[in-house]
Structure 1
């Protein structure tokens, strides 16, 4: 069975991230993390970046801890249930509205935990996409007009997986030499060789891109480059304004669908113009078939079930109250949508052991 298109994995993960951005319910956020992790573990391939989900999960735990510490030190939402009181540090008048120390309430602490969990869930969705998708294969599938921008994006996306692979290689090398250090000391020991390996990779990448003529504009008329840039930038601006008009009910009607349509036309025209001046060949291009559509569709079902859930089917439980503090419920329709998002386990090829 052939591997799924990497774009399908990214769209599926973006749909799960959209679910996480819509809610602060810790039960639903935990379900998003569980779904992303379950699919990432079962469907990942034997690649150097296959363990990226675990790294992003640890980053998420760090984010939660940082958010709670900031709330304890700087305050935020207050409540009636005081857990403990920290010594308060007086601040100058120009820092009015900011406090350092003071009472820490249960309501504010739960609110900070929910916000930190939301950010951690977004990181886990990105980690699942990094563990499942091959960014280099995704680059080959993008339009030729976006090639240079896409290379920069792919380089940025592969930083975390490459660091994970480098850390694993350095750890194995030290273990073979009898040094099995763990904990905080392991971070200090591994940091220098991992950063050195990352620096060497960046130099090799820069040399490879230069040898292939990356960024050169020889033979391309200036008028063509300017026209392509104007069309693409104008299209992106139209898409942003149109999306804002659709999301904001008070915006004038002309700002919504008309601007979105105009932006789409300009963006497509810019991509078409840019693709004509860039000649690229693809060896064994990745196809998009029914399995990719089903994977993306399962993620869209989860997102639509969350965004369109009525109040009696879980819409009222997406943002549970913290003042007063109440136990969060399980949003029924969004939870069922997330169960549909487990479909890639049945559709994609499993990890080979």
Structure 2
């Protein structure tokens, strides 16, 4: 039996929190390597098991686009000018924006670090998509969220279905003797892949709706309003707390206070809303000690990075003016390595 999908999502999101607190290319590369090793070692034979490679390629594209945008539109400037592009004059209302001009090594490094950070975040999410079963994740949804289950089905299954559809379409084209590659192959694959993935997601949502998924019992209007208010307030608190956690500028006490308050309100609302669903679950997914180890390893990676960042430790945020040679910070690196724990406790 594979691990609970909630454990994988907690592991991936917490690993992404660790990546969001640093622009050190060595530490970001370590996060990508850890996510990739876990995705490869714990993968199954499911159609979405190749999602990590797709997200990794998307991350490389984002890095390239970020560097190209910096070269064309400018940004951080420095003394080490590598080359100069012809500059197009812009009107006065576009002050602060330029097209062309000098391109410095400092600016290129800054763009590269930012692109690498975003690519690392995508890599963490890609690893989760390759490991977590989206259908099992839907079975574990709180009862208070059943009313939005159809939208959640489409949202959670689109990315895995894209990977499965791409593999099926490529295999069908090879069987027909079509060995096209490059841009021509991409143009001919794009529409059928998107159409097939969306059709599969909508078919799953329709099947769930036809089986009564999301139907609720009658409850007093006051209970419904209280449930909605608690869930909404909890989600707002969680969103603000997560933003502060990822941003790194807010006080950690305020950030974690909002996270705890939001989580408490959301849990209270979800438990109250569960009374609206007069059904039991058939063979619910158990949460065992393996799931706790997986989620805990991600929490250790995030906590180590957040702790060093909050205490003003060096090595997390790279300086580009002047250019700084990156070094691997010890405590965050050890915390990220702990995130390899799923390999030791994986089950089949």
TM-score between the two structures when normalised by the length of structure 1: 0.89
C-alpha separation in 2, matches of 1:75 and 1:129: 34
> For the Cα contact (< 8 Å) 1:73–1:101, is it kept in 2?
yes
Would the alpha carbon gap of residues 349 and 167 (structure 1) be closer, same or farther in structure 2, given more than 3 Å must change?
same
Would the alpha carbon gap of residues 129 and 147 (structure 1) be closer, same or farther in structure 2, given more than 3 Å must change?
same
- Secondary structure (helix, strand or coil) at the match of 1:167 reads helix
Q: Does 1:348 align with 2:346?
A: yes
Would the alpha carbon gap of residues 249 and 191 (structure 1) be closer, same or farther in structure 2, given more than 3 Å must change?
closer
Aligned pair partner of 2:313 in 299, 307, 315: 315
Q: Counterpart in 1 of 2:324?
A: 326
Q: What's the CA shift string for 1:1-48, capped at 9, x where partnerless? A: x21111111111111101110000001000100000011011011000
> For the Cα contact (< 8 Å) 1:243–1:260, is it kept in 2?
yes
The CA deviation at 1:307 is 1.6
RMSD: 2.7
User: How many residue pairs end up in the alignment?
Assistant: 345
The CA deviation at 1:290 is 1.0
C-alpha separation in 1, matches of 2:272 and 2:295: 29
> For the Cα contact (< 8 Å) 1:144–1:280, is it kept in 2?
no
Q: Counterpart in 2 of 1:10?
A: 9
Q: Which runs of 5+ in 1 are unaligned?
A: none
> For the Cα contact (< 8 Å) 2:78–2:321, is it kept in 1?
yes
Q: Which runs of 5+ in 2 are unaligned?
A: none
> For the Cα contact (< 8 Å) 1:306–1:315, is it kept in 2?
no
- Secondary structure (helix, strand or coil) at the match of 1:49 reads helix
The CA deviation at 1:88 is 0.6
Q: Does 1:47 align with 2:58?
A: no
Would the alpha carbon gap of residues 44 and 212 (structure 1) be closer, same or farther in structure 2, given more than 3 Å must change?
same
C-alpha separation in 1, matches of 2:185 and 2:264: 53
C-alpha separation in 1, matches of 2:34 and 2:224: 44
C-alpha separation in 2, matches of 1:147 and 1:48: 26
> For the Cα contact (< 8 Å) 1:144–1:279, is it kept in 2?
no
C-alpha separation in 1, matches of 2:121 and 2:260: 29
Would the alpha carbon gap of residues 150 and 329 (structure 1) be closer, same or farther in structure 2, given more than 3 Å must change?
farther
> For the Cα contact (< 8 Å) 1:241–1:256, is it kept in 2?
no
Q: What's the CA shift string for 1:112-160, capped at 9, x where partnerless? A: 0000000000000000000000011112122211223355334212211
> For the Cα contact (< 8 Å) 2:19–2:28, is it kept in 1?
yes
> For the Cα contact (< 8 Å) 2:85–2:100, is it kept in 1?
yes
